[in-house]
Amino acid sequence: MLDIKKLITIVVIVVIVGCGAYKFLYSGKDAIILNGNVEIHDVNLAFRVAGRIDTIKIDEGAHVKKGELLASLDKDVFKAKLDYAKAQLKAETINFQNAEKDYKRNIGLLKKKSVSEKVYDSSKTAYEVAKSKVEAAQAAYDYMNIDYKDADLFSPVDGVVLTRNIEPGEMIASGTVVFSIMPNTQTRIKTFASEAVLSRIKRGDVVYVNIETMPKKKFKGHIGFISSEAEFTPKNIETSELRTSLMYRIRVILDEPAPELKQGMPVTVSYDK
């Protein structure tokens, strides 16, 4: 007859082994593991105008705020053009004011038959020409003023500077990318799930993301979007067996910014911590 203590020990061992076996046999079947890729849209910044780099305020790795000055071009040329446009505008404005006075005066004189139609028509034409020249000069000044302001480059977002491609004194063309910034926005993961998996997940579910290079670190997030239409998965997402299967696109949104995750990086999404 078994001792009661030995019986209890055997029962406990059987329960433990049974639970372990159940977990071993069924956890793989029930686990939800999805493969995906990081979706981060870096902001590439460029000067709208060409010029020589005068000052650089930040470097790679710097945290910047929206509206912060990042770099400036040499403004001497822009300032000279702006001053010239301003002088032109002033001169054309004076000419317009004089032409306007003559025109208005001739309107009254024509009613009194004190001037001929020819004189009146000539003053009207001069007035209209002077007006168009003022408008053209104003447009030129506004354009030069935009160029002058665009010699300063400001950050359009809060974020981290990933790359700096310029040095002081360097000549750059319009549109040359000078900085690349990763915004402090939500990091997103694009992945796909089969119809069978789709029935077991829902929007708002908490999930965890990890990468091969950091196997011990998990990035917490949640399911932010589940497509209602099936599509074929991209070749870089699933195995060759699943590329011909219709899957549903899912977007996972991380709860906090994750600078460790780079655009296109392959990741694993699971429900396990």
pTM exceeding the 0.75 threshold for the entire prediction = no
pLDDT band for position 26 (cuts 50, 70, 90): very low
Q: Mean pLDDT over residues 32-48, rounded?
A: 89
Tell me what pLDDT residue 206 has: 93
pLDDT of 124: 96
| pLDDT > 70 in the chain, percent | 84
Distance CA 243, CA 236 (A): 9
pLDDT tens sequence across 161-219: 989 999 999 999 999 999 999 888 778 899 988 888 888 889 999 999 998 888 888 99
Per residue in 84-140, pLDDT (tens digit) is 999 999 999 999 999 999 999 999 999 998 999 999 999 999 999 999 999 999 999
Domains of the chain: 32-42+184-270 (2.40.30.170), 45-182 (2.40.50.100)
How confident is the model over 165-181, as pLDDT tens digits?
999 999 999 999 999 99
Cα 139 from chain centre: 31
